[in-house]
């Protein structure tokens, strides 16, 4: 039924209408009419969450809505979002999910445990939508484009790691040339907007993060003492092993730190969050987001920011790819 022309047309309408939620609500009605009530509920809840994310204190119902979204996703309900898939080689594809334009609260509130001073809470508007890889670039994807595999923890479906920001730029350049489309890293604001998907809690999953939800070091519960202690896997895991967020994106918390396009600044506020250019200064630090398998949950929060030299490689640095239609 997902191949239905009507269904595909409704997804196309979501892209065409940008931030307008009307096509998503129409699709939710269609899902109900075609006996897909869980997907319809997930879509309506997500629309409601996105609509209230800049004033969470005024909408106490958000706690229940977010908890139900996580429950549905954990049960295996996949969000109905526009996607594009490109072929890289025989049996190797890359899938991207549509992230619509919108406004959100970037950073963390002063009371959030483990926050840093460089996480100033501020409102950000993204005026253009974009497609974002549903997970970090895998070793199979890297191999098909670059012809080698620099990763320490080998596995075709694991994220490629031991790649620098410079390496990620080389990948995007070669991918763009092969596909005839401009691929790039996400801007930092785009990354956090996509990660949060309308949430304002420390993690997409809520106030705590368990090792059933992400690949992180769960041996220590601090500073999220209400979260249960979990496992420490000591390595990357295959992409998509954990539940996605409401835009169908996987592994935004943990597994590998992900490079962003931006140069790092202590003050992350900017007048134009849609700028995608960056000065190519050799030693200017670049932004990393999301935490990794090596770090405890406090370092895998939606707002956590890190940075490193663009030439630096290590076995917990990876990246995912974005593109726009224009």
First to last CA, the chain: 30
Strands (DSSP E) contained in the chain are 83-89, 92-99, 102-106, 122-126, 130-133, 183-184, 257-263, 286-289, 305-308, 317-318, 322-323
**Same domain? 63 vs 207:** no
Q: Which residues are within 8 A (CB) of 320 and not within 5 positions of it... i.e. 6 or more apart?
A: 132, 133, 135, 136, 137, 185, 186, 258
**Same domain? 68 vs 118:** no
pTM, to two decimals: 0.95
**Same domain? 67 vs 159:** no
The rounded mean pLDDT for the chain is 93
Considering 33, 51, 80, which residue would you say is the last residue of a domain?
A: 80
Contact in structure between 134 and 248 (CB atoms under 8 Å) = yes
Give residue-wise pLDDT tens across range 265-284.
886 555 445 544 444 445 58
Q: pLDDT higher for 112 or 227?
A: 112
pLDDT, residue 107, reads: 97
Residue 274: CATH number of its domain = 3.90.1580.10
Strands (DSSP E) contained in 73-177 are 83-89, 92-99, 102-106, 122-126, 130-133
**Same domain? 31 vs 119:** no
**Same domain? 99 vs 71:** no
Q: Is the peptide bond before 223 cis (omega within 30 degrees of 0)?
A: yes
**Same domain? 111 vs 181:** yes
**Same domain? 321 vs 254:** yes
**Same domain? 73 vs 217:** no
Give residue-wise pLDDT tens across range 90-104.
999 999 999 999 999
Which range of residues forms the domain containing residue 205? 82-326
Number of domains within the chain:
2
**Same domain? 90 vs 198:** yes
pLDDT, residue 224, reads: 75
pLDDT, residue 326, reads: 79
| Residue 235: pLDDT over 90 | yes
Considering 27, 59, 80, which residue would you say is the last residue of a domain?
A: 80
Would you place residue 223 in the very low, low, confident or very high pLDDT band (cuts 50, 70, 90)? low
**Same domain? 163 vs 72:** no
Give residue-wise pLDDT tens across range 201-211.
999 999 999 99
**Same domain? 91 vs 49:** no
Considering 18, 45, 80, which residue would you say is the last residue of a domain?
A: 80
Whole-number percent of the chain with pLDDT over 70: 92
Contact in structure between 212 and 270 (CB atoms under 8 Å) = no
Would you place residue 243 in the very low, low, confident or very high pLDDT band (cuts 50, 70, 90)? very high
**Same domain? 72 vs 220:** no
């Amino acid at each position: 039924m997902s191949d239905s022309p009507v269904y595909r047309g409704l997804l196309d309408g979501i892209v065409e209408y940008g931030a307008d939620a009307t096509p998503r609500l129409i699709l939710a009605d269609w899902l109900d009419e075609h006996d897909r009530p869980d997907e319809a509920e997930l879509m309506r809840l997500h629309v409601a969450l996105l609509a209230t994310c800049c004033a969470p204190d005024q909408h106490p119902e958000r706690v229940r809505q977010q908890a139900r979204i996580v429950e549905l996703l954990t049960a295996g309900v996949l969000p109905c979002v526009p996607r594009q898939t490109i072929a890289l080689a025989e049996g190797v594809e890359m899938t991207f999910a549509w992230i619509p334009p919108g406004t959100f609260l970037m950073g963390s509130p002063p009371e959030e445990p483990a926050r840093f001073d460089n996480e100033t809470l501020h409102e950000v508007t993204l005026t253009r939508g974009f497609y974002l890889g549903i997970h970090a670039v895998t070793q199979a994807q890297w191999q098909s484009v670059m012809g080698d595999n620099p990763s320490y923890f080998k596995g075709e479906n694991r994220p490629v790691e031991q790649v620098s920001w410079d390496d990620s730029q080389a990948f995007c350049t070669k991918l763009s040339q092969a596909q005839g489309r401009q691929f790039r890293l996400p801007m930092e604001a785009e990354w956090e907007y996509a990660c949060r998907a309308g949430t304002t809690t420390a993690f997409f999953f809520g106030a705590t993060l368990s090792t059933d939800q992400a690949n992180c070091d769960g041996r220590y519960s601090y500073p999220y003492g209400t979260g249960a202690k979990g496992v420490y896997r000591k390595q990357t895991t295959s992409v998509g092993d954990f539940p996605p967020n409401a835009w169908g994106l996987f592994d935004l918390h943990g597994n590998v730190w992900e490079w962003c396009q931006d140069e790092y600044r202590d003050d992350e506020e900017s007048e134009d969050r849609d700028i995608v250019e960056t000065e190519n200064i050799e030693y200017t630090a670049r932004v990393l987001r999301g935490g990794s398998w090596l770090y405890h949950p406090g370092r895998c929060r939606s707002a956590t920011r890190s940075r490193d030299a663009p030439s630096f490689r290590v076995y917990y640095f990876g990246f995912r790819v974005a593109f726009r239609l224009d």
